Amino acid sequence: MKSALYLYNTISRKKEMFEPLAPPFVGMYVCGPTVYSEAHLGHARPAVTFDLLYRYLMHLGYQVRYVRNITDVGHLENEVDDSGEDKISRKARQENLEPMEVVQKYMNSYHTAMEKLNTLPPSIEPRATGHIIEQQQLAERLISKGYAYEVNGSVYFDVEKYDSMHSYGILSGRVLEDMRANSRALEGQDEKRGQFDFALWKKASPDHIMRWPSKWSDGFPGWHLECSVMSTKYLGDTFDIHGGGMDLIFPHHECEIAQSTASQGHSPVRYWVHNNMVTINGQKMARSFGNFITLEELFTGSHKMLVQAYSPMTIRFFMLQAHYRSTLDFSNEALLAASLGLQKLLTAERTLASLKPSDESTADIRGLSKKCYDAMNDDLNTPVAIAQLFDAVRIINLVNDGKEKLSAADITSVKELFKVFVHDLFGLKAGESVGNDKLAGVLQLLLDMRQEAKARQEWSVSDRIRDRLSELGITVKDRKDGCDWEITA
């Protein structure tokens, strides 16, 4: 272990030293997407955040089981609406598809986007539909323990009862009594005993497509059950880390705690870790605001709010430049800044590879690595770690200019620093190289001819080559000794 990692635990509201239950093993469960539409910007934040945590834990030497679910039973679109249609069913009806076709389509979209963002695949990616039986079993267990009741073929969790025995709201800081005082009673029929009770099993209306048989009714599992079931099934009754977006704290994670505590006497989770939300031009991203951007639109620049495309690595770097518990505001200006910053970082790494060692060092690069680790250990403070990397960038460039010197040993340790932080932990990789060697060869030929033209002072020829390549999205970069090129579009 390098040193102690501190993580902010939502339930204690403090940074706590991370100590796994059974080292060297670590169990981490993260709430994944409901697959009823294209993967969007909001999906990227937790994916990148917990990918970072996953990578860091492994780097520290832990053996991590990373479980991230796919919710493929659509949560109810509108609980009050008695039609009880869920998101996936609705989408299936609208697009005239099987629900599982909808699920497959958007799951593929999610996976593709995640791969582009260079997030490592989880160890297990369980799906709600694959755990219907276990969910029924948990519902049954909660009934037998007196924490749940059946009405008209549906099963509800009795929040009042639970609150009288334990305490409902410990994660989100809510008090049931206050909630009662501050919310109007919902109008109309409700088969629930208490207004805060939530469904464990829901009877399907006749036209509801996704349904499974059960002792209570043909229906489908409730909102929060799948995560309780799948996390403990694969990670045990008590596991180390449960992650997800902050918007899931209430009611989703609160209900998970209630279900598990009611069924097994204690919460299964030791550290609750939540990432903050993404905003766009200062506004929450929501369909109703018209600022809803899918990851594919971002990567291709096809959304009307985007002035250009932003590469997956730019998105990733942009997210890492902010702390995961801060809201992160997307704008063209901010993304462009991130993209240029990333380019600078990666360019310096190429410079580093060709640096000439000196007998001694005049620049101090020791300490940078420790500062990076310190930052990571302080609740994954990636922006501070990145600032250290830019310090290294400045030194690399100064050495390259002959204004500072680095010994061979120091150069090696800077290389190691970049390898560990830029690549292994931050998961950043250099942009696409040329698809194949032939193109590289052709380019080299063109650039050689341009150099010769320049030597003969035939500027019209050399400029023409440069301009035509530029139109093709290839930027020619003249250097003191020869020239370099980069695919920029």
Of residues 420-459, which lie at the interface with RNA (CB under 7 A)?
454, 459
Using rule CB under 7 A, residue 244 touches RNA: yes
Using rule CB under 7 A, residue 174 touches RNA: yes
Q: Which CB, 235 or 255, lies closer to RNA? A: 255
Q: Are strands 278-280 and 328-330 parallel, antiparallel or unpaired?
A: parallel
| Cβ neighbours for 315, distance < 8 A, ≥ 6 positions apart | 44, 117, 295, 298, 299, 335
CB 67 to RNA: min, Å: 15
CB 483 to RNA: min, Å: 7
Instruction: Determine the interface stretch with RNA among 62-70, 133-141, 205-213, 284-292 (rule: CB under 7 A).
Output: 284-292
Asked whether 6 and 377 are in contact (CB, 8 A), the reply is yes
- Nearest CA to 221 out of 75, 63, 6, 40 is that of 75
Using rule CB under 7 A, residue 341 touches RNA: yes
The label of the residue with tokens 């519902």 reads: 139
Q: What is the 3-state secondary structure (H, E, C) of 288-334?
A: HHCCCCEHHHHHHCCCCCCCCCCCHHHHHHHHHCCCCCCCEEECHHH
Q: Which CB, 53 or 278, lies closer to RNA? A: 278
Q: Cβ-count burial of 81 within 10 angstroms (0-12 exposed, 13-18 middle, 19+ buried)?
A: exposed
Using rule CB under 7 A, residue 394 touches RNA: yes
Q: Please give the Cα distance from 370 to 365 (Å, whole number).
A: 10
Using rule CB under 7 A, residue 362 touches RNA: no
Q: Which CB, 62 or 313, lies closer to RNA? A: 313
**The only residue of 55, 65, 68, 75 in contact with RNA, by rule CB under 7 A:** 75
Run of H or E including 266: none
**The only residue of 118, 343, 407, 413 in contact with RNA, by rule CB under 7 A:** 343
Using rule CB under 7 A, residue 411 touches RNA: no
Using rule CB under 7 A, residue 348 touches RNA: yes
Using rule CB under 7 A, residue 184 touches RNA: no
Asked whether 415 and 407 are in contact (CB, 8 A), the reply is no
Total binding residues toward RNA, as defined by CB under 7 A: 87
CB 23 to RNA: min, Å: 27
Using rule CB under 7 A, residue 336 touches RNA: yes
Helix (H, G, I), strand (E, B) or coil at 239: strand
How does DSSP classify residue 129?
G
CB 474 to RNA: min, Å: 11
Considering only residues 10 to 69 of the shown chain, the ones binding RNA according to CB under 7 A are 13, 31-34, 41-43, 45-46
**The only residue of 28, 57, 67, 76 in contact with RNA, by rule CB under 7 A:** 76
Using rule CB under 7 A, residue 209 touches RNA: no
